[in-house]
Amino acid sequence: MKRINTHLVITILLMLFVSASWTSSCIGMLHKVKKGETLSGIAKKYDVPMKRIIQNNSIASIDHLQIGEKLLIPLSTKPTNASEGPNGTWYEVKDRDTLYSIARKHNIEDWKKLQQINGISNPKRIKPGQTIFIPGDGDIGFALPIRTKLYVTSRYGYRNHPITGRYRLHEGIDFRAATGTQVHASKTGTVTFAAKKGGYGKAVSIQHEDDFSTVYGHLSRIYVSKGDFVKQGQVIGLTGSSGHSTGPHLHFEIRYKGKSENPARHLDLR
Ligand SMILES: [Zn+2]
């Protein structure tokens, strides 16, 4: 009987805690984490977006829930499209996506982490429209540097240079853009270069965390200076056709430890 009483007291205390910490019209319940449970599994069980559970609980690590840890489960609707949260992002699976490609796009080194966090038993069976939780602090991954309709005029890879005719690596991706189109920082970082640079014309380089950097070439205007801290999405300049260029476009590079990578692996070009 004593044990039951203790349980009763704890339950009442928890209910008080829930009602006290609960805001406005939300209705929720408590879930005690059992061995082998994942956050995504719990979210699925209650049909609640994982993001909502994370928002309503101070979870130390979403990879490893503590057995016995009590989670406040808010009762709510499913997540709409991909949206940002304080501890990560929701991503909606598109055609031809794989966990590997999604991980690459969000700079997550090990795609198995996504599998584990989302409780996916068979990684080959992810479906378009399915939402996947991407852990991070909101500013993860690279955002598109231009926000006008995308038109890729030259992809990353070996090509004959349109001006010199020489066969060499095109180290970035070219987006057609009318002169004066705003150029946004693809990721938060520090400006390491903001001036004219040979074939690049007026160019900006930004150093990001984790040894990644981005380069923006052929600009008509530069709005930042070396040493500036820029936030993801911040306008850093305007497109143009400066340097070796056959027409107004943005040349955009993503580099890892100085070596160029295919930006298409990091950007959502569809
Ligand atoms: Zn280019």
150-208 pLDDT, tens digit each: 899 999 999 888 888 889 999 999 999 999 999 999 998 999 999 999 999 999 999 99
Q: What is the pTM of this model?
A: 0.54
From the CA of 161, how far away is ligand 1's center (Å)? 9
Which pLDDT value is given to residue 78?
37
From the CA of 263, how far away is ligand 1's center (Å)? 11
CB 210 within 8 A of CB 261: no
From the CA of 171, how far away is ligand 1's center (Å)? 7
From the CA of 193, how far away is ligand 1's center (Å)? 18
From the CA of 156, how far away is ligand 1's center (Å)? 8
From the CA of 7, how far away is ligand 1's center (Å)? 66
| Residue 89, beta-bridge partner list | 84, 134
> How many other CB atoms sit within 10 Å of the CB of residue 235?
14
Q: How far apart are CA 241 and CA 243, in angstroms?
A: 7
From the CA of 170, how far away is ligand 1's center (Å)? 6
From the CA of 261, how far away is ligand 1's center (Å)? 13
The one-letter code for the residue type at 7 is H
From the CA of 213, how far away is ligand 1's center (Å)? 16
From the CA of 123, how far away is ligand 1's center (Å)? 35
CB 15 within 8 A of CB 28: no
Which pLDDT value is given to residue 52?
78
Q: Which residues of the chain have pLDDT under 50?
A: 18-26, 76-86, 138-139
From the CA of 92, how far away is ligand 1's center (Å)? 29
How much of the chain is in helix, strand and coil states, percent to nearest 5? 25, 30, 45
Q: How far apart are CA 252 and CA 262, in angstroms?
A: 10
Residue-range domains of the chain with CATH: 2-74 (3.10.350.10), 84-135 (3.10.350.10), 152-265 (2.70.70.10)
Distance of CA 166 to the CA centre of its chain: 36
